[in-house]
Structures are given as C-alpha cells and as structure tokens.
Amino acid sequence: KMKKFLVFFIFGIVAFLSVGAKETYAQTFKLELANPSQTISVGSAFQVKVLINTGGQQAINGDALISFDPAKVSIDTAVTGDFFSYFSASPLGGADNKYLASSWEESVAHAKTSSTDTLFATLSLTAKTNGTTSLSFDCTAGNEADSNINKASDSTDILNCSVLAPLNLTIGSGGAAEASPTPGGADSLTPTVTPPSGSVTSTPIPTSTPKPTSTPRPTISVLPRSGVVEVTFTALGIGILLTVMGALSIL
C-alpha cells in the first residue's frame, strides 16, 4: 500500500508540474527591429517586426494596436506575416498616434498555435526627427477594443498585457540630448566675453582702495601780490620819515 501511495504521489507531482509548465507560457506580442544593426537617421525608412506567441493555445485571431509618437516616426504600411490567413492594417480612425494590425481565421477549423515568437506582421516606418522614442502595445486587461489574442474555443482574450514590452528607438547618432546646445558651445545663445586685445588675463585686477588726499595747503606763490604787506611797509616808511623830521625840528 505504501508503495502504491508513493507511485500515485510521484505521478501526481509530475502531472502537476507538467500542467504548470504549460501555463507558464505567456500569450504575448513582441516588437523588434527587422534589422537591429541599422542606424536610423532622420528621413530614413526602417522596418519593425510584430511577433506573436499564443503560449501553445489555439487562437482564432489577433489584434496588435500600436501606439507611437507621430512627431518622431510615422507608420506607413504593414504586411502580414502569414500566421493567420486574413490580414488588415491601417491607422486607427480618430487617432494620429495609433496603428492597428489585425489578422484572423474564418473558422475554428483553421485555428493557429505557437509556443515561440512567430512573425505576425511587418511594419514599415519613417523616422521624422532626432531623438529617442518608443513603440508600444495599447493593452488593458479585460478590454476588447485594444490589443488582443482570441482563443479559438470561446473567443476570450488570452493576451497577457503585463508582459508586453515597448521597443525603444534612437533616431540620429546621439538622441534627444544632442538636440539641445551645450552651454558655451558654438550653438549656445549665451554670449561669451572676449578679453580686450593685449590683456594678459580676462580676470579683472582689483584696484587699491582710494586713500583720502590731504587738504591742499596754500603756498606763497598763490598769495595776493597786493594787500596788507604793502600797506604795512608804506605806513612804516611814512612813520620813519615823520620821526626823522620831528627829531630834526627839535634840534
């Protein structure tokens, strides 16, 4: 009995692990550059692949609703990857930043499945301005009006939105940071100060603190040539003359 119990127990664990392994496959879309080594410059055309993985489940159709920045790139056309038989692609009506690629089967008898990333569609894009940008899937769990992968048996949406990743793109050699002029560079709007010709250095040399000058003292050369001195000598001469005359009269 113990041996039978151990056999059933081990069999149950193996069965559980095998089921769990199947459930770990995520139903997903993926974006990647068709030519990863390509340098994307302004005005150049490039392609992006949309890959589908149904996680091993039978699917009847898929909708890849892709969001992008229309100032950076334009999505011009899309062609099928022949995963499903029928295909349609166009910009989403009423939105200039969304593009919808849809593909489907006409009946469950032709349902498709994959457990690896398989080509769903190829997008042709044109780069418009330098900088960094991204493409991403518009996806909300429970929403049927965005990206979806529909199960063949009951048409439920099995796309796992949580595992969808954006595709980051760099247009030009340096991205958005190079679009802004470097302070002090040739394109800077900040004026630079050119030191005067012949100057040893542009650093201003501080001048000595001005010292108060002494109050100007009058010199003899600026004294008036006429005035008290001349009057004094004149009066003195008259006084001596009168003294002499007085002395002579007494004699």
pLDDT tens column, 103-128:
999 999 999 999 999 999 999 999 99
Task: Using pLDDT thresholds of 50, 70 and 90, give the confidence band for residue 94.
Answer: confident
H/E/C letters for each residue in 48-78? EEEEEECCCCCEEEEEEEEECCCCCEEEEEE
The predicted model scores a pTM of 0.61
Taking the CA atoms of 238, 239, 243 and 246 in sequence, report the sign of the dihedral they define.
positive
Flag the least confident range among 52-61, 118-127, 134-143, 211-220: 211-220
pLDDT band at 142 (very low <50, low <70, confident <90, very high): confident
Region 22-28 average pLDDT: 66
The mean-pLDDT minimum among 26-40, 76-90, 187-201 falls in 187-201
Q: pLDDT above 90 covers what percent of the chain? A: 56
User: Does residue 24 carry a pLDDT above 90?
Assistant: no
Do 125 and 73 meet the contact criterion of CB atoms below 8 Å apart?
Answer: yes
Quickly state the pLDDT bin for 194 (edges 50, 70, 90).
very low
Of 10 and 211, which is predicted with more confidence? 10
What is the per-residue pLDDT for 241?
52
